[in-house]
Amino acid sequence: MLEKPMLEKLCAVLVATTMWVLASAGHAAAQGTGTIWDGVYTSAQAARGKTTFEGTCARCHNPELTGSERGPALKGGTFLSHWEDDSLESVFNKIRDTMPPIGPNTLSEDIKIDILAYILQSNAYPAGTVDLRPTGSVLEGIKIAKKGIWNGVYTTAQAARGKTTFETACIRCHGADLTGTNGPPLVGDKFLGNWETDSLNSLFVKIRDTMPPNFGTILEPEAKLEILTYILQTNKFPAGSEDLKVDSEGLDAIQIVRKAGESVAAPNFALVQVVGCLSQGPNNGWVLTSTSAPVVTKEQTSTPEALKRAEAQPLGGDTFQLVSVAPFKPDLHRGHKVEAKGLLYRDPDDKRINLTSMQMVGSSCGQ
């Protein structure tokens, strides 16, 4: 048993450590990094903002923030699509410099930042532990983004309903642990490798239109969506506060991605995607240098949205020989940053990609 002086010292250390962790979390929020899904305001701040909003802004924007002939909606799809991919700084500047129309200077910045917190709360963005502050450098770093798969896109109750249905309709082929028997696995690296970078809508359509085999119409789409949420839960994607909806546009916007920092090596002969610098190698061959790690893909060519993501992808430190490169006119892309897709072959002495697609994503190879 610990003596009292030692116990008091241990408690002091634990308290100090806990305070440091909380302060670190608050500091990260205060620095304004990440997205509005990271909890960038507090519930108390939103409550203050609600009081001011109801007295000052509701006449034009409606008490429900749904808008009127005098002012636009401040929540919902139209509002979010207008500001998507922008920063909170842009929204705050709009409020600070133009609202209310009769006199933007009648409210202080501190009051207006509280109103912005209330707008975020009304759009179901989660609260955090640190007040949002009217500081440009902080607000600029907080991006307005659609909900991602790691932000909680289903509820625990929805996944529980999906589990019940799964155990009666799917277990025979996919196994009680979802690792697959007569059907493919629905959990783990192989499952994620098959669906990574795809949308939830693609996975839902696969389940809706083809499962169970030969009996695809015995379950309603809503029941199949619940099965999808159970698959997400089993793969440790977190639950949220709202049910996932049968909405192709909404499902299309949610991409299946691994947790930041997690990756798995692509196997030989897999179709992969890499980003790197194109240059000419020995014997008039072509090589891709400074490449990102190969990522398994299902698409032989990329959509404009995928190419935009590839443009922002950082380069790496690998080099691959390119095979079947002539159809892609490499002379036109010498020295460019390109996205390449093809069949991977890799051993310690030989690294090759047999191309199925190559497209420029940057005019230079700056890191």
Output the domain CATH number for residue 308. 2.40.50
Residue 298's pLDDT band (cuts 50, 70, 90): confident
pLDDT tens, 153-176?
A: 999 999 999 999 999 999 999 999
The Cβ of residue 235 has, within 10 Å, a number of other Cβ atoms equal to: 17
Number of CB atoms found within 10 A of residue 10's CB: 11
Nearest residue to 275 via CA among 313, 309, 325: 313
Looking at residue 45, its amino acid is: Q
pLDDT at 367 over 90: no
Is it the case that residue 14 has pLDDT exceeding 80?
no
183 and 221 part of one domain: yes
Domain extent for 232: 151-252
- Choose the final residue of a domain: 93, 118, 145: 145
Tell me if 2 is assigned to some domain.
no
**How many folded domains does the chain comprise?**
3
Statement to judge: residues 324 and 347 lie in one domain? yes
Residue 25 in domain:
no
Q: Domain end: 122, 145, 168, which one?
A: 145
Together in a domain, 131 and 38:
yes
Q: How many CB atoms lie within 10 A of CB 78?
A: 12
**Within a domain: residue 175?**
yes
Residue 76's nearest CA partner among 54, 61, 86, 89 is: 61
Asked whether residue 367 is assigned to any structural domain, the reply reads no
Q: Specify which of 104-108, 113-117, 151-155, 309-313 reaches the highest per-range mean pLDDT.
A: 113-117
CATH number at residue 128: 1.10.760.10
Identify whether residues 294 and 223 lie together within a single domain.
Answer: no
Q: Give a yes or no: residue 134 inside a domain.
A: yes
Of the residues 252, 286, 318, the one at which a domain ends: 252
Contacts of 293 (CB under 8 A, 6+ apart): 263, 265, 266, 274, 316, 318
User: In 10 A of CB 297, how many CB atoms?
Assistant: 22
Instruction: Please report which confidence band the pLDDT of residue 238 belongs to, taking 50, 70 and 90 as the band edges.
Output: very high
Considering the domain boundaries, does residue 199 fall inside one?
Answer: yes
